[in-house]
Structure 1
Amino acid sequence: MARILAIDDDDAILRLIRKMLEMKNHEVTTLLNIKEITIEEINRYNLILLDVMMPGEDGFKICEKIRPLIDIPIIFMTAKSDENSIIKGLSIGGDDYIVKPFSIHEVNARIEAHLRRESRPKRGSKSVFIDGDILFDLEAKKVIIQGDEVSFTKTQYRICELLALHKGKIFSKDDIYESVYSIESDSQISTIVEHIRVIRKKYAQFNLVPINTVWGVGYIWE
Protein backbone atom coordinates (compact mmCIF):
# COMPACT_ATOMS: atom_id res chain seq x y z
CA MET A 1 0.00 0.00 0.00
CA ALA A 2 1.21 3.51 -0.84
CA ARG A 3 0.10 6.98 0.17
CA ILE A 4 -0.85 8.91 -2.98
CA LEU A 5 -1.75 12.58 -3.33
CA ALA A 6 -3.92 13.65 -6.29
CA ILE A 7 -4.33 17.35 -7.12
CA ASP A 8 -6.90 18.36 -9.75
CA ASP A 9 -9.56 21.06 -10.00
CA ASP A 10 -12.06 18.56 -11.42
CA ASP A 11 -14.05 16.76 -8.70
CA ALA A 12 -15.16 14.03 -11.10
CA ILE A 13 -11.55 13.18 -11.99
CA LEU A 14 -10.60 13.10 -8.30
CA ARG A 15 -13.47 10.75 -7.48
CA LEU A 16 -12.41 8.43 -10.31
CA ILE A 17 -8.79 8.47 -9.18
CA ARG A 18 -9.75 7.76 -5.57
CA LYS A 19 -11.98 4.83 -6.52
CA MET A 20 -9.39 3.44 -8.91
CA LEU A 21 -6.49 3.57 -6.45
CA GLU A 22 -8.39 2.47 -3.37
CA MET A 23 -9.29 -0.71 -5.26
CA LYS A 24 -5.53 -1.33 -5.31
CA ASN A 25 -5.46 -0.77 -1.52
CA HIS A 26 -3.65 2.56 -1.77
CA GLU A 27 -4.38 5.40 0.65
CA VAL A 28 -5.52 8.36 -1.44
CA THR A 29 -5.81 12.06 -0.59
CA THR A 30 -7.48 14.36 -3.15
CA LEU A 31 -7.12 18.13 -3.26
CA LEU A 32 -8.53 20.83 -5.53
CA ASN A 33 -5.45 23.05 -5.10
CA ILE A 34 -2.01 23.12 -3.47
CA LYS A 35 -2.98 25.78 -0.92
CA GLU A 36 -4.67 23.13 1.22
CA ILE A 37 -1.42 21.36 2.17
CA THR A 38 2.10 22.14 3.47
CA ILE A 39 5.42 20.90 2.08
CA GLU A 40 5.93 18.90 5.27
CA GLU A 41 2.64 17.09 4.67
CA ILE A 42 3.43 16.49 0.98
CA ASN A 43 6.64 14.72 1.96
CA ARG A 44 4.62 12.09 3.80
CA TYR A 45 3.26 10.77 0.49
CA ASN A 46 4.88 8.23 -1.82
CA LEU A 47 3.66 9.70 -5.13
CA ILE A 48 1.83 12.74 -6.52
CA LEU A 49 -0.67 12.85 -9.39
CA LEU A 50 -0.81 16.44 -10.63
CA ASP A 51 -3.14 18.11 -13.13
CA VAL A 52 -1.61 20.83 -15.32
CA MET A 53 -4.47 23.12 -16.34
CA MET A 54 -5.77 24.55 -13.08
CA PRO A 55 -6.86 28.10 -12.15
CA GLY A 56 -4.29 30.22 -10.32
CA GLU A 57 -1.07 28.19 -10.14
CA ASP A 58 -1.04 25.56 -12.85
CA GLY A 59 0.57 22.16 -12.42
CA PHE A 60 3.84 23.22 -14.02
CA LYS A 61 4.25 26.13 -11.59
CA ILE A 62 3.38 23.88 -8.66
CA CYS A 63 5.95 21.31 -9.78
CA GLU A 64 8.66 23.96 -10.11
CA LYS A 65 7.78 25.23 -6.63
CA ILE A 66 7.76 21.92 -4.77
CA ARG A 67 10.31 19.84 -6.69
CA PRO A 68 13.35 21.31 -4.86
CA LEU A 69 11.65 20.38 -1.58
CA ILE A 70 10.51 16.82 -2.28
CA ASP A 71 12.04 13.63 -3.63
CA ILE A 72 8.96 11.60 -4.61
CA PRO A 73 7.58 10.85 -8.09
CA ILE A 74 5.36 13.47 -9.71
CA ILE A 75 3.10 12.23 -12.50
CA PHE A 76 1.32 14.84 -14.60
CA MET A 77 -2.23 14.00 -15.72
CA THR A 78 -3.46 16.48 -18.31
CA ALA A 79 -5.27 17.06 -21.57
CA LYS A 80 -2.25 19.01 -22.89
CA SER A 81 -0.89 16.44 -25.28
CA ASP A 82 1.40 18.59 -27.45
CA GLU A 83 5.07 17.67 -27.54
CA ASN A 84 6.24 20.99 -26.06
CA SER A 85 4.04 20.53 -22.97
CA ILE A 86 5.27 16.98 -22.45
CA ILE A 87 8.91 18.06 -22.78
CA LYS A 88 8.35 20.96 -20.37
CA GLY A 89 6.64 18.75 -17.79
CA LEU A 90 9.48 16.26 -17.78
CA SER A 91 12.23 18.89 -17.88
CA ILE A 92 11.00 20.78 -14.79
CA GLY A 93 10.98 17.72 -12.58
CA GLY A 94 8.00 15.59 -13.57
CA ASP A 95 8.65 11.85 -13.62
CA ASP A 96 5.88 10.88 -16.02
CA TYR A 97 3.14 12.40 -18.18
CA ILE A 98 -0.28 10.82 -18.74
CA VAL A 99 -2.66 12.37 -21.25
CA LYS A 100 -6.40 12.67 -20.55
CA PRO A 101 -8.65 10.88 -21.27
CA PHE A 102 -6.59 8.09 -19.76
CA SER A 103 -6.91 4.35 -19.40
CA ILE A 104 -7.34 3.19 -15.81
CA HIS A 105 -5.08 0.22 -16.52
CA GLU A 106 -2.35 2.49 -17.91
CA VAL A 107 -2.49 4.81 -14.89
CA ASN A 108 -2.30 1.88 -12.48
CA ALA A 109 0.61 0.33 -14.38
CA ARG A 110 2.61 3.55 -14.39
CA ILE A 111 1.95 4.24 -10.72
CA GLU A 112 3.03 0.72 -9.75
CA ALA A 113 6.18 1.06 -11.87
CA HIS A 114 7.18 4.27 -10.10
CA LEU A 115 6.41 2.84 -6.67
CA ARG A 116 8.55 -0.22 -7.40
CA ARG A 117 11.39 2.04 -8.52
CA GLU A 118 11.11 4.13 -5.35
CA SER A 119 11.22 1.02 -3.16
CA ARG A 120 14.67 0.10 -4.43
CA PRO A 121 17.61 0.97 -2.15
CA LYS A 122 18.88 4.47 -2.78
CA ARG A 123 22.48 5.56 -2.70
CA GLY A 124 23.79 8.96 -1.85
CA SER A 125 20.41 10.46 -1.01
CA LYS A 126 20.59 14.10 0.03
CA SER A 127 20.33 14.80 3.75
CA VAL A 128 17.54 17.26 4.42
CA PHE A 129 15.45 18.47 7.33
CA ILE A 130 11.96 19.83 6.71
CA ASP A 131 9.79 21.84 9.06
CA GLY A 132 6.60 23.06 7.39
CA ASP A 133 7.57 25.30 4.46
CA ILE A 134 11.22 25.45 5.56
CA LEU A 135 13.77 23.00 4.18
CA PHE A 136 17.39 22.66 5.34
CA ASP A 137 19.83 21.08 2.92
CA LEU A 138 22.23 19.83 5.59
CA GLU A 139 24.96 18.95 3.11
CA ALA A 140 24.92 22.13 1.04
CA LYS A 141 24.17 24.26 4.14
CA LYS A 142 21.27 26.00 2.45
CA VAL A 143 17.81 27.08 3.59
CA ILE A 144 14.89 26.91 1.16
CA ILE A 145 11.62 28.57 2.17
CA GLN A 146 8.45 27.94 0.17
CA GLY A 147 10.61 26.93 -2.80
CA ASP A 148 12.97 29.93 -2.66
CA GLU A 149 16.56 29.71 -1.46
CA VAL A 150 17.19 32.34 1.23
CA SER A 151 20.65 33.81 1.75
CA PHE A 152 22.14 33.48 5.23
CA THR A 153 25.68 34.08 6.44
CA LYS A 154 27.52 31.02 7.75
CA THR A 155 26.86 32.07 11.33
CA GLN A 156 23.19 32.77 10.69
CA TYR A 157 22.81 29.38 9.01
CA ARG A 158 24.48 27.63 11.97
CA ILE A 159 22.08 29.34 14.36
CA CYS A 160 19.07 28.32 12.25
CA GLU A 161 20.25 24.74 11.92
CA LEU A 162 21.02 24.44 15.63
CA LEU A 163 17.60 25.67 16.71
CA ALA A 164 15.63 23.86 14.00
CA LEU A 165 17.25 20.47 14.56
CA HIS A 166 16.43 20.82 18.27
CA LYS A 167 12.88 22.06 17.77
CA GLY A 168 11.18 22.73 21.11
CA LYS A 169 14.42 23.09 23.07
CA ILE A 170 15.37 26.44 24.62
CA PHE A 171 18.91 27.72 23.98
CA SER A 172 20.44 30.59 25.91
CA LYS A 173 22.65 33.15 24.17
CA ASP A 174 25.65 31.40 25.75
CA ASP A 175 24.50 28.01 24.41
CA ILE A 176 24.14 29.39 20.89
CA TYR A 177 27.45 31.23 21.05
CA GLU A 178 29.34 28.11 22.14
CA SER A 179 27.71 26.03 19.41
CA VAL A 180 28.21 28.33 16.42
CA TYR A 181 31.51 30.10 17.14
CA SER A 182 34.96 28.58 17.32
CA ILE A 183 36.95 28.66 20.55
CA GLU A 184 39.32 31.22 19.02
CA SER A 185 36.52 33.60 18.04
CA ASP A 186 36.73 37.14 19.37
CA SER A 187 33.06 37.91 18.62
CA GLN A 188 30.88 39.12 21.47
CA ILE A 189 27.95 37.12 22.82
CA SER A 190 25.79 40.18 22.14
CA THR A 191 26.18 39.53 18.41
CA ILE A 192 23.83 36.56 18.82
CA VAL A 193 20.95 38.96 19.47
CA GLU A 194 21.68 40.84 16.25
CA HIS A 195 21.96 37.63 14.23
CA ILE A 196 18.59 36.46 15.57
CA ARG A 197 17.05 39.81 14.64
CA VAL A 198 18.31 39.52 11.04
CA ILE A 199 17.24 35.87 10.78
CA ARG A 200 13.73 36.70 11.97
CA LYS A 201 13.48 39.50 9.43
CA LYS A 202 14.27 37.09 6.60
CA TYR A 203 11.67 34.57 7.75
CA ALA A 204 9.12 37.36 8.20
CA GLN A 205 9.26 38.00 4.45
CA PHE A 206 7.45 34.65 4.14
CA ASN A 207 5.10 35.38 7.06
CA LEU A 208 6.94 32.82 9.18
CA VAL A 209 8.05 33.18 12.81
CA PRO A 210 9.89 29.95 13.68
CA ILE A 211 12.20 31.49 16.32
CA ASN A 212 10.61 32.79 19.49
CA THR A 213 12.06 34.45 22.58
CA VAL A 214 11.66 32.89 26.00
CA TRP A 215 12.16 35.99 28.09
CA GLY A 216 15.02 35.78 30.56
CA VAL A 217 16.06 32.37 29.22
CA GLY A 218 16.85 32.37 25.49
CA TYR A 219 15.44 31.29 22.13
CA ILE A 220 13.36 28.39 20.88
CA TRP A 221 12.37 27.06 17.44
CA GLU A 222 8.64 26.29 17.47
Structure 2
Amino acid sequence: MAKILAVDDDKRILKLIKNALEINQHNVVTLQNAENTPIEAFCGYDLILLDIMMPGIDGFKLCEKIRHTVDCPIIFLTAKIEESAIVRALMLGGDDYIKKPFGVMELNARVDAYLRRETRGKPTKKLVYDNITIDFDKKEIRVCNNLIAYTKNEYNICEFLALNRGKVFTKQGIFEAIYDFSSDTQFSVITEYIRLIRNKFKEYNCFPIETVWGVGYMWK
Protein backbone atom coordinates (compact mmCIF):
# COMPACT_ATOMS: atom_id res chain seq x y z
CA MET A 1 0.00 0.00 0.00
CA ALA A 2 1.35 3.42 -0.99
CA LYS A 3 0.48 6.97 0.05
CA ILE A 4 -0.49 8.92 -3.06
CA LEU A 5 -1.39 12.58 -3.58
CA ALA A 6 -3.70 13.56 -6.45
CA VAL A 7 -3.88 17.25 -7.42
CA ASP A 8 -6.62 18.38 -9.81
CA ASP A 9 -9.16 21.20 -9.87
CA ASP A 10 -11.88 18.83 -11.09
CA LYS A 11 -13.73 17.08 -8.24
CA ARG A 12 -14.94 14.34 -10.58
CA ILE A 13 -11.40 13.46 -11.63
CA LEU A 14 -10.25 13.39 -8.01
CA LYS A 15 -13.12 11.08 -7.08
CA LEU A 16 -12.30 8.78 -10.00
CA ILE A 17 -8.63 8.64 -9.02
CA LYS A 18 -9.38 7.99 -5.36
CA ASN A 19 -11.88 5.20 -6.09
CA ALA A 20 -9.60 3.62 -8.71
CA LEU A 21 -6.43 3.54 -6.62
CA GLU A 22 -8.19 2.42 -3.45
CA ILE A 23 -9.03 -0.79 -5.33
CA ASN A 24 -5.34 -1.65 -4.87
CA GLN A 25 -5.44 -0.60 -1.22
CA HIS A 26 -3.54 2.66 -1.74
CA ASN A 27 -4.04 5.58 0.63
CA VAL A 28 -5.11 8.47 -1.60
CA VAL A 29 -5.12 12.12 -0.52
CA THR A 30 -6.77 14.62 -2.88
CA LEU A 31 -6.10 18.34 -3.30
CA GLN A 32 -8.30 20.57 -5.44
CA ASN A 33 -6.57 23.94 -4.96
CA ALA A 34 -2.78 23.96 -4.58
CA GLU A 35 -2.13 27.66 -5.09
CA ASN A 36 -1.43 28.55 -1.45
CA THR A 37 -0.41 25.13 -0.22
CA PRO A 38 3.05 25.10 1.45
CA ILE A 39 5.75 22.88 -0.03
CA GLU A 40 5.85 20.78 3.13
CA ALA A 41 2.35 19.53 2.36
CA PHE A 42 3.67 17.69 -0.71
CA CYS A 43 6.28 15.73 1.23
CA GLY A 44 5.91 12.20 2.56
CA TYR A 45 4.13 10.71 -0.45
CA ASP A 46 5.21 7.70 -2.49
CA LEU A 47 3.83 9.21 -5.71
CA ILE A 48 2.10 12.40 -6.87
CA LEU A 49 -0.48 12.68 -9.67
CA LEU A 50 -0.52 16.24 -10.96
CA ASP A 51 -2.93 17.87 -13.40
CA ILE A 52 -1.41 20.40 -15.81
CA MET A 53 -4.33 22.70 -16.55
CA MET A 54 -5.34 24.26 -13.24
CA PRO A 55 -6.31 27.82 -12.30
CA GLY A 56 -4.09 29.84 -9.99
CA ILE A 57 -0.98 27.70 -10.26
CA ASP A 58 -0.78 25.20 -13.10
CA GLY A 59 0.93 21.82 -12.97
CA PHE A 60 4.10 23.09 -14.63
CA LYS A 61 4.67 25.80 -12.04
CA LEU A 62 3.71 23.51 -9.16
CA CYS A 63 6.11 20.78 -10.28
CA GLU A 64 8.92 23.32 -10.61
CA LYS A 65 8.10 24.63 -7.13
CA ILE A 66 8.18 21.27 -5.34
CA ARG A 67 10.60 19.16 -7.41
CA HIS A 68 13.74 20.06 -5.44
CA THR A 69 11.99 19.11 -2.20
CA VAL A 70 9.96 16.12 -3.37
CA ASP A 71 11.87 13.02 -4.53
CA CYS A 72 8.93 10.72 -5.31
CA PRO A 73 7.67 10.10 -8.88
CA ILE A 74 5.44 12.81 -10.34
CA ILE A 75 3.00 11.69 -13.04
CA PHE A 76 1.24 14.43 -14.99
CA LEU A 77 -2.42 14.16 -15.93
CA THR A 78 -2.98 16.05 -19.14
CA ALA A 79 -5.29 16.67 -22.05
CA LYS A 80 -2.37 18.50 -23.72
CA ILE A 81 -0.63 16.14 -26.11
CA GLU A 82 1.62 18.62 -27.96
CA GLU A 83 5.28 17.62 -27.98
CA SER A 84 6.34 20.95 -26.46
CA ALA A 85 4.02 20.48 -23.47
CA ILE A 86 5.19 16.92 -22.79
CA VAL A 87 8.87 17.84 -23.13
CA ARG A 88 8.37 20.78 -20.76
CA ALA A 89 6.69 18.50 -18.21
CA LEU A 90 9.62 16.06 -18.32
CA MET A 91 12.26 18.77 -18.15
CA LEU A 92 10.63 20.22 -15.04
CA GLY A 93 11.06 16.87 -13.29
CA GLY A 94 7.98 14.89 -14.27
CA ASP A 95 8.47 11.13 -14.53
CA ASP A 96 5.60 10.24 -16.83
CA TYR A 97 2.25 11.46 -18.12
CA ILE A 98 -1.22 10.02 -18.54
CA LYS A 99 -3.49 11.43 -21.22
CA LYS A 100 -7.02 12.43 -20.29
CA PRO A 101 -9.46 10.79 -20.46
CA PHE A 102 -7.92 7.69 -18.88
CA GLY A 103 -9.32 4.41 -17.62
CA VAL A 104 -9.11 2.80 -14.20
CA MET A 105 -6.93 -0.06 -15.45
CA GLU A 106 -4.44 2.26 -17.17
CA LEU A 107 -4.17 4.49 -14.11
CA ASN A 108 -3.51 1.58 -11.77
CA ALA A 109 -1.01 0.02 -14.18
CA ARG A 110 1.03 3.21 -14.54
CA VAL A 111 0.99 3.96 -10.82
CA ASP A 112 1.95 0.43 -9.79
CA ALA A 113 4.74 0.31 -12.37
CA TYR A 114 6.36 3.39 -10.84
CA LEU A 115 5.86 2.19 -7.30
CA ARG A 116 7.59 -1.09 -8.17
CA ARG A 117 10.42 0.80 -9.78
CA GLU A 118 10.94 2.99 -6.72
CA THR A 119 11.20 -0.02 -4.42
CA ARG A 120 13.47 -1.95 -6.76
CA GLY A 121 16.75 -2.45 -4.92
CA LYS A 122 19.93 -0.84 -6.16
CA PRO A 123 23.43 -1.85 -5.14
CA THR A 124 24.47 -0.38 -1.80
CA LYS A 125 27.79 0.96 -2.91
CA LYS A 126 29.63 3.78 -4.57
CA LEU A 127 31.14 4.02 -8.00
CA VAL A 128 34.44 5.85 -8.24
CA TYR A 129 35.78 6.80 -11.66
CA ASP A 130 38.94 8.89 -11.43
CA ASN A 131 37.79 12.06 -9.64
CA ILE A 132 34.04 11.29 -9.92
CA THR A 133 32.15 9.54 -7.11
CA ILE A 134 28.52 8.38 -7.43
CA ASP A 135 26.83 7.39 -4.17
CA PHE A 136 23.77 5.22 -4.85
CA ASP A 137 22.45 5.39 -1.29
CA LYS A 138 22.58 9.19 -1.06
CA LYS A 139 21.92 9.74 -4.78
CA GLU A 140 24.86 12.09 -4.89
CA ILE A 141 27.53 12.85 -7.46
CA ARG A 142 30.81 14.46 -6.44
CA VAL A 143 33.69 15.68 -8.54
CA CYS A 144 36.95 16.14 -6.62
CA ASN A 145 34.75 15.86 -3.51
CA ASN A 146 32.56 18.77 -4.67
CA LEU A 147 28.85 17.97 -4.54
CA ILE A 148 27.15 18.54 -7.89
CA ALA A 149 23.56 19.84 -7.87
CA TYR A 150 21.45 17.67 -10.15
CA THR A 151 17.76 17.25 -10.78
CA LYS A 152 16.30 13.78 -10.25
CA ASN A 153 16.33 12.86 -13.93
CA GLU A 154 19.80 14.31 -14.53
CA TYR A 155 21.07 12.10 -11.72
CA ASN A 156 19.22 9.07 -13.12
CA ILE A 157 20.85 9.54 -16.53
CA CYS A 158 24.31 9.79 -14.96
CA GLU A 159 23.69 6.71 -12.83
CA PHE A 160 22.38 4.69 -15.77
CA LEU A 161 25.31 5.57 -18.04
CA ALA A 162 27.90 5.12 -15.27
CA LEU A 163 26.56 1.68 -14.34
CA ASN A 164 26.92 0.73 -18.01
CA ARG A 165 30.32 2.35 -18.51
CA GLY A 166 31.75 1.85 -21.99
CA LYS A 167 28.41 0.92 -23.57
CA VAL A 168 26.81 3.20 -26.14
CA PHE A 169 23.12 4.07 -25.79
CA THR A 170 20.86 5.87 -28.23
CA LYS A 171 18.64 8.73 -27.06
CA GLN A 172 15.73 6.30 -27.29
CA GLY A 173 17.53 3.74 -25.13
CA ILE A 174 18.34 6.30 -22.43
CA PHE A 175 14.82 7.73 -22.55
CA GLU A 176 13.16 4.35 -22.09
CA ALA A 177 15.55 3.40 -19.26
CA ILE A 178 14.75 6.59 -17.37
CA TYR A 179 11.04 6.98 -18.03
CA ASP A 180 9.82 3.41 -18.58
CA PHE A 181 7.68 4.39 -21.55
CA SER A 182 8.33 5.03 -25.23
CA SER A 183 7.34 7.88 -27.51
CA ASP A 184 9.17 9.06 -30.63
CA THR A 185 8.39 12.70 -29.91
CA GLN A 186 10.11 12.92 -26.51
CA PHE A 187 13.60 11.56 -27.24
CA SER A 188 14.79 15.14 -27.83
CA VAL A 189 14.56 15.77 -24.08
CA ILE A 190 17.63 13.55 -23.60
CA THR A 191 19.76 15.87 -25.74
CA GLU A 192 18.84 18.78 -23.48
CA TYR A 193 19.55 16.78 -20.32
CA ILE A 194 22.97 15.74 -21.62
CA ARG A 195 23.78 19.39 -22.38
CA LEU A 196 22.82 20.45 -18.84
CA ILE A 197 24.79 17.57 -17.27
CA ARG A 198 27.89 18.36 -19.31
CA ASN A 199 27.77 22.01 -18.31
CA LYS A 200 27.85 21.03 -14.64
CA PHE A 201 30.80 18.69 -15.11
CA LYS A 202 32.57 21.27 -17.30
CA GLU A 203 32.91 23.61 -14.32
CA TYR A 204 35.43 21.10 -12.94
CA ASN A 205 37.11 20.45 -16.30
CA CYS A 206 35.54 17.00 -16.32
CA PHE A 207 33.98 15.35 -19.40
CA PRO A 208 32.72 11.82 -18.59
CA ILE A 209 29.92 11.62 -21.20
CA GLU A 210 31.12 11.07 -24.75
CA THR A 211 29.08 11.49 -27.91
CA VAL A 212 29.37 8.62 -30.37
CA TRP A 213 28.36 10.41 -33.53
CA GLY A 214 25.40 8.93 -35.34
CA VAL A 215 24.71 6.51 -32.47
CA GLY A 216 24.31 8.07 -29.04
CA TYR A 217 26.17 8.57 -25.76
CA MET A 218 28.38 6.62 -23.39
CA TRP A 219 30.16 7.09 -20.06
CA LYS A 220 33.89 6.94 -20.78
What residue is the counterpart of 1:66 in the other structure?
66
RMSD of the TM alignment (CA)? Answer: 2.1
Structure with larger Rg: 1
Measure the CA separation in 2 of the matches of 1:9 and 1:57: 10
State the SS of the aligned residue for 2:98. strand
Alpha-carbon distance, 1:97 to partner: 0.7
CA offsets 1:185-207 (integer angstroms, 9 cap, x no match):
xxxxxxxxxxxxxxxxxxxxxxx
What residue is the counterpart of 1:5 in the other structure?
5
TM-score (norm: length of structure 2): 0.55
Question: Could you tell me which amino acid in structure 2 is paired with residue 65 of structure 1?
Answer: K
Measure the CA separation in 2 of the matches of 1:84 and 1:125: 32
Alpha-carbon distance, 1:38 to partner: 3.5
What residue is the counterpart of 1:115 in the other structure?
115
- What percentage of residue pairs aligned between the two structures are identical? 55
What residue is the counterpart of 2:138 in the other structure?
125
Structure 2 residues not aligned, in runs of 5+ = 123-135, 141-145, 150-220
Measure the CA separation in 2 of the matches of 1:70 and 1:117: 17
Measure the CA separation in 2 of the matches of 1:24 and 1:35: 29
Question: Could you tell me which amino acid in structure 1 is paired with residue 17 of structure 2?
Answer: I
State the SS of the aligned residue for 2:53. coil
Measure the CA separation in 1 of the matches of 2:50 and 2:28: 13
Structure 1 residues not aligned, in runs of 5+ = 128-138, 143-222
Alpha-carbon distance, 1:124 to partner: 3.4
Measure the CA separation in 1 of the matches of 2:92 and 2:61: 9
Alpha-carbon distance, 1:105 to partner: 1.1
Alpha-carbon distance, 1:103 to partner: 2.0
State the SS of the aligned residue for 2:86. helix
What residue is the counterpart of 1:213 in the other structure?
none
TM-score (norm: length of structure 1): 0.55
Count of residue pairs the alignment pairs up:
131
State the SS of the aligned residue for 1:33. coil
State the SS of the aligned residue for 2:68. helix
Measure the CA separation in 1 of the matches of 2:18 and 2:7: 11
Question: Could you tell me which amino acid in structure 2 is paired with residue 105 of structure 1?
Answer: M
CA offsets 1:60-82 (integer angstroms, 9 cap, x no match):
00001100111100000011111
What residue is the counterpart of 2:20 in the other structure?
20
What residue is the counterpart of 1:52 in the other structure?
52
What residue is the counterpart of 1:136 in the other structure?
none
Alpha-carbon distance, 1:126 to partner: 4.5
Alpha-carbon distance, 1:35 to partner: 4.2
Measure the CA separation in 2 of the matches of 1:36 and 1:22: 27
Measure the CA separation in 2 of the matches of 1:36 and 1:29: 17
What residue is the counterpart of 2:106 in the other structure?
106
Change (3 A) 1:9 1:25: same
Measure the CA separation in 2 of the matches of 1:83 and 1:112: 25
State the SS of the aligned residue for 2:93. coil
Alpha-carbon distance, 1:34 to partner: 2.0
What residue is the counterpart of 2:90 in the other structure?
90
Measure the CA separation in 1 of the matches of 2:43 and 2:28: 14
Question: Could you tell me which amino acid in structure 2 is paired with residue 2 of structure 1?
Answer: A
Measure the CA separation in 1 of the matches of 2:36 and 2:139: 27
CA offsets 1:5-63 (integer angstroms, 9 cap, x no match):
00000000000000001111000000012246433332211000000000011000000
Measure the CA separation in 1 of the matches of 2:51 and 2:114: 18
Measure the CA separation in 1 of the matches of 2:98 and 2:78: 7
